[in-house]
Amino acid sequence: MGKEKLGIYIHVPYCVRKCNYCDFFSQTFSRAERSPAEYFRCLVSDIETAGTIWRGRFEVDSVFFGGGTPSAVEPELLCGALDELGHAFHITEDAEISLEANPGTISRKSLEAYRAAGFNRISVGVQSLDDGVLRIMGRIHSADEGLEALKLAKSVFPSVNADLMIGTPGQTLDIWLEGLKRVLNEEPQHLSFYSLQLEEGTPFYEEYRTGKLELPAWEENREMYHRGLELIKSAGYRHYEISNAAKPGYECRHNLKYWTMRPYLGLGRTAHSFIDGVRFAEKPAPGPEDAAEDRDSLRGDFIFTQLRLIEGLDEGFYEELFGSSFISDFASPLWELFAQDLLFRPSPGRVAFTEKGLDLTNPVMQRLLEEL
Amino acid sequence: MQDYQRYIRNFSIIAHIDHGKSTLADRLIESTGTVAHRDMKEQFLDNMELERERGITIKLQTTRLVYNAKDGSEYILNLIDTPGHVDFNYEVSRSLAACEGAVLVVDATQGVEAQTLANVYLALDEDLEIVPVINKMDLASARPQETKDEIEEVIGIEAQDAPLISAKEGINIDQVLEAIVAKVPAPSGDPESPLKALIFDSYYDNYKGVVIYTRVFDGSVKAGDTILLMNTKKTYEVTEVGVNAPYQTPVSELSAGSVGYICASIKQVKDARVGDTVTLASAPAAEKLPGYKRVQPMVYCGIYPTPDEKYENVKDCLEKLQVNDAAFQFEPETSQALGYGFRCGFLGLLHMEIIVERLEREFDLEIITTSPSVIYKVVNHDGSETMIENPSNLPNPTEYDHIEEPMVKATIMTPKDYVGSIMALCQDRRGSMNHMEYITENRVALHYDMPLNEVIYDFFDALKSKTRGYASLDYEFDRYQRSNLVKLDILLNREQVDAFSMIVHESKAYARGRFVCEKLKEVIPMHQFEVPIQASIGQKVIARETVKAYRKDVLAKCYGGDISRKKKLLEKQKEGKKRMRQFGTVEVPQEAFTAVLKYDDEK
């Protein structure tokens, strides 16, 4: 009997320095509520607890150490936690085991240590290959260091992602495309290209709101996105999520779980889990206060996540989960959105964003969520 | 005088705020053994959580102390605590009317302050014997001799033998008790005459109904009597009489000279108003006690439920508060921007802040409060008058002859070094000086005529900051005066938001308009479009700011931890649309309404 598959996310809330745009929970070492060593002791104990609760039912086919900056803490801590995961759970042979790394915090030695411990995929926060742009963002590394890190990662790991950003202050279309080409030359197996989001509470948000920070116009941001995509696709990558592309077979298994309503367990501060329709956070298992989402909320989640896939939302899976037809449940907004050329049916049983729709994903999703 | 009266002393403690009134009350209670030390919370008489936290007395309390004096006799000392703030002057005057004496606490490091004087005058109006006490002797900066001289010079009462105490450290508290016994006259009054008792406080108790705190001047009252309240002319049957010792303890009767409480199944505090006279329905007194007045709110503001809060909920809570606080008034009103809510009247700004805070904390309400406003008198062309409590109700200038605003007489006491900056401040707030007097070589009293509307924004805060806390303020309503006032409107994305409208003096309109625009710019979040913020008088725009636009058409990043939060944000935008209709197209956070209240002098 095959067990169900589970993804595990481990949050590492430490950074050398907070970037000006980031609102993920993370702390600089000098201001942390507890030391990394102590944090990982708690984490390991949560892993043990989670193992006793879930290992009977699940086997683990993806592990993701995110942050924060996982590579900013001692490699022994990450490797130790991964080791503990191996004891507490059954991790499958082919499991994808990723960590996020900042170019300013890695060396060949540390990468080899991660690889030896069992990590087989690394995501490198290159972000930009322009020093001016990097400086404004508050990154701790230079463009050269970013590229170096990518090369190093490629030489140690079988699967490498490069994280890039578009629409950031000081960035132009030329800067973006030129940087992207240099990244493509290194042939990472996976690319993420995020349009900058201004999140409340970040320095960028306040500076922009009060007129102290200039951003590329929205139209320019979109041009960066579409022109970048053309380059990426022509280099042999498959565009599979709004902001992600991969060489065939290298799609991020872990992240796909988020977008396809598969179960995942998040451990550590602010880490979220989703199992049996229940969302819970910062604990190994749901408590009595964590009720399963109601049907409408889950239908909302389904649309909100599955539409992010370029191949589109899976109507058959919708019917399987909710016992009704997606097309008839959302008939009236769907016909509107089809007519406006924002959504279409790329293949039977799928509804997806058109190229035009990819620039208006929020209003489209809002329109659908209104139906609930 | 009756024999039992010989051993009763009825007194209050009066002081400028922070001079140690409540701490002294605590020590008196503690040293007479009225409350065991282990039950002693700091500021025992300040019951409300809010009172203890802010270190102020809001509702007055009364306590009966039993004191074995050095002459070998046992005395009953009735301590009637008074609220310290100018907003509650009427309550102070009524509780002083229940006493024969007042302990005047003066801080040995600060000397006589504006509210010291104001309270002393109130006490002298009631013919009370003043017992001066010099407090805070534990502080190195205490200057007792100077303080004594100041009391004698400024107030004109003998102070050389005033006890030198530290209420905080419990030093010389017995001297205070002895001084009360020796100096405060025993009460008189005939227990056989018709009942005449003064209500000096009342509050609502869930089990007993309204509890009246009273001082019996003539006659006596007991359970089973039918009482008549002489101003409201209503009758009730007494269910219980008692004293606070310090917890409520029933007694068989209260007779002339005593202080205690009466319960008579009264449903609302407004039926047993402070200042009213209690008598017996069967044998009423010939005339009532003097001094009763209906309290009039001085400051108004709008209170509205937030979109997540139910109107009925807010109404229920306002009603509950009113049951307990006769001075607080409210009536329904509607705002285009905020929907259905209430216009509420308060004695002053502090009273308003306290009520709002209680609504938020005790009742857990989510409310929006609009800018406080005074009541303007609009004189129409035909000579008739309209009172305006809500700025957005001010008619067009063509529709009336002129507007009048309430003026107060303000007294500011300050060390002489700060006179210059205070005069500049008062001038900026449209005050005009009546006269200035040196009360001692170093201390000055400034008497100003000022518009109340200038006092209710942060005048007191500004005064404190300009004088490093040394100046003190007291004011009272004086008259209405014709003034050049205009209505300042605020427009968000070119649509007027009525809840921000305010009435200001023409000379202040530009500065205020600019200030509000800047404040709103700080708090209004980004929208998909640029949000112009404008201040206008009539059609004329006098200030403008802009909140930049940010397009949130695509959510680029969405992972595990984000999913429910990001989805909720999207759904909130959807709900926001509904709410946005009320604010025109702009979503205004709740804090915007409080942000524009704080007037910052630097701007």
CATH value at residue A304: 1.10.10
Per-residue pLDDT at B16:
83
Distance (Å, rounded) from C-alpha B316 to C-alpha B325? 14
Phi-psi region of A307 (alpha: psi -120 to 50; beta: other; left: phi over 0): alpha
Cβ–Cβ below 8 Å for A243 and B556: yes
Chain B: closest CA distance from residue A347 (Å): 24
Query: A22 and A166 in one domain?
Result: yes
What the block records as the tokens of B376 is 């303007």
Which residues of chain A neighbour B519 with C-beta distances below 8 Å?
none
Instruction: Select from B526, B550, B555 the Cβ nearest to the Cβ of A362.
Output: B555
Query: A230 and A361 in one domain?
Result: no
Of all residues in chain B, the one with the smallest CA distance to A370 is: B574
Of all residues in chain A, the one with the smallest CA distance to B573 is: A366
Cβ–Cβ below 8 Å for B560 and A360: no
Per-residue pLDDT at B38:
47
Per-residue pLDDT at A70:
97
Q: What is the pLDDT of residues B174-186, one digit of tens each?
A: 999 999 999 999 9
Cβ–Cβ below 8 Å for B560 and A358: no
Of all residues in chain B, the one with the smallest CA distance to A167 is: B556
What the block records as the tokens of A109 is 């030695």
Distance (Å, rounded) from C-alpha B263 to C-alpha B239? 6
Asked if pLDDT for residue B521 goes beyond 60, the answer is yes
% of residues, chain B, pLDDT over 90: 45
Asked if pLDDT for residue B467 goes beyond 90, the answer is no
Cβ–Cβ below 8 Å for A272 and B558: no
What the block records as the tokens of B312 is 């009925």
Cβ–Cβ below 8 Å for A361 and B554: yes
Q: Which helix (H) or strand (E) holds A301?
A: helix A295-306
Query: A145 and A41 in one domain?
Result: yes
Chain A: closest CA distance from residue B536 (Å): 22
Residue among B298, B304, B338 nearest B318 (CA): B304
Tell me how many domains chain A contains: 2
pTM of the model: 0.61
Query: A355 and A210 in one domain?
Result: no
**Residue that finishes a domain, picked among A235, A257, A279:** A257
Cβ–Cβ below 8 Å for B570 and A365: yes
Of all residues in chain A, the one with the smallest CA distance to B551 is: A218
Distance (Å, rounded) from C-alpha B517 to C-alpha B596? 9
Per-residue pLDDT at B602:
44
Cβ–Cβ below 8 Å for B567 and A369: yes
Cβ–Cβ below 8 Å for A271 and B560: yes
List A123's β-bridge partners, or say none. A100, A161
Q: Report how many helices (DSSP H) and strands (DSSP E) chain A contains, helices first.
A: 14, 16
Is A262 a domain residue?
A: no
Is A223 a domain residue?
A: yes
Cβ–Cβ below 8 Å for A197 and B555: yes
Per-residue pLDDT at B55:
44
Instruction: Inform me whether the C-beta atom of residue B533 falls under 8 Å from chain A C-beta atoms.
Output: no
Cβ–Cβ below 8 Å for B557 and A197: yes
Query: A198 and A54 in one domain?
Result: yes
Per-residue pLDDT at B84:
57
Per-residue pLDDT at B273:
85
Is A271 a domain residue?
A: no
Per-residue pLDDT at B436:
94
Is A29 a domain residue?
A: yes
Asked if pLDDT for residue B45 goes beyond 60, the answer is no
Cβ–Cβ below 8 Å for A308 and B558: yes
Give B 537-576 residues with CB within 8 A of chain A: 546-548, 550-561, 563-564, 566-567, 570-571, 573-574
Per-residue pLDDT at B56:
43
Q: How confident is the model at residue B57 (pLDDT cuts 50, 70, 90)?
A: very low
Range of the domain at A241: 4-257
Q: Is B195 exposed, middle or buried (0-12, 13-18, 19+ CB in 10 A)?
A: buried
Mutant choice from A9, A206, A365, A372 vs B, greatest count of B C-beta within 10 A: A365
Mutant choice from A272, A301, A360, A372 vs B, greatest count of B C-beta within 10 A: A272
Of all residues in chain B, the one with the smallest CA distance to A214 is: B548
Of all residues in chain A, the one with the smallest CA distance to B564 is: A301
Helix, strand, or coil here: A351? strand
Note whether B2 and B191 are within 8 A (CB). yes
**Residue that finishes a domain, picked among A211, A241, A257:** A257
Is A150 a domain residue?
A: yes
Chain B: closest CA distance from residue A270 (Å): 7
Query: A326 and A248 in one domain?
Result: no
Note whether B487 and B461 are within 8 A (CB). no
A-B Cβ pairs (cutoff 8 Å, strict): 99
Query: A301 and A197 in one domain?
Result: no
Lowest mean pLDDT across A6-20, B225-239, B485-499? B485-499
Average of per-residue pLDDT across B270-285: 91
Of all residues in chain A, the one with the smallest CA distance to B574 is: A366
Query: A12 and A128 in one domain?
Result: yes
Is A39 a domain residue?
A: yes
Chain A: closest CA distance from residue B161 (Å): 58
Query: A340 and A207 in one domain?
Result: no
Q: What is the pLDDT of residues B78-137, one digit of tens each?
A: 998 776 565 677 778 888 999 999 999 999 998 888 778 878 888 888 899 999 999 999
Asked if pLDDT for residue B370 goes beyond 90, the answer is no
Note whether B251 and B242 are within 8 A (CB). yes
Cβ–Cβ below 8 Å for A362 and B521: no
Is A277 a domain residue?
A: no
Whose tokens are 């407090």? That residue is B135
Which residues of chain B neighbour A11 with C-beta distances below 8 Å?
561
Query: A129 and A84 in one domain?
Result: yes
Per-residue pLDDT at B603:
37
Instruction: Select from A208, A259, A281 the Cβ nearest to the Cβ of B548.
Output: A208
Chain B: closest CA distance from residue A153 (Å): 23
Q: Which helix (H) or strand (E) holds B202?
A: strand B196-205
Cβ–Cβ below 8 Å for B521 and A210: yes
Residue B549 DSSP code: B
Cβ–Cβ below 8 Å for B522 and A210: yes
Specify the CATH number for the domain of residue A207.
3.20.20.70
Cβ–Cβ below 8 Å for A272 and B563: yes
Distance (Å, rounded) from C-alpha B64 to C-alpha B2? 19
Query: A306 and A252 in one domain?
Result: no
Is A149 a domain residue?
A: yes
Instruction: Select from A209, A272, A362 the Cβ nearest to the Cβ of B554.
Output: A362
Average of per-residue pLDDT across B316-341: 85
Of all residues in chain B, the one with the smallest CA distance to A213 is: B548
Of all residues in chain B, the one with the smallest CA distance to A8 is: B560
Query: A251 and A299 in one domain?
Result: no
Q: Mind listing the pLDDT tens digit of every residue in chain A (372 residues)? A: 589 999 999 999 999 999 999 999 999 988 888 899 999 999 999 999 999 999 999 999 999 999 999 999 999 999 999 999 999 999 999 999 999 999 999 999 999 999 999 999 999 999 999 999 999 999 999 999 999 999 999 999 999 999 999 999 999 999 999 999 999 999 999 999 999 999 888 999 989 988 889 999 888 999 999 999 999 999 999 999 999 999 999 999 999 999 999 999 999 999 999 999 999 999 999 999 898 889 999 999 999 999 999 999 999 999 999 999 999 999 999 999 999 999 999 999 999 999 999 999 998 998 999 888
**Residue that finishes a domain, picked among A230, A257, A284:** A257
Distance (Å, rounded) from C-alpha A300 to C-alpha B566? 11
Instruction: Inform me whether the C-beta atom of residue B521 falls under 8 Å from chain A C-beta atoms.
Output: yes
List A66's β-bridge partners, or say none. A11
Instruction: Select from A196, A272, A366 the Cβ nearest to the Cβ of B574.
Output: A366
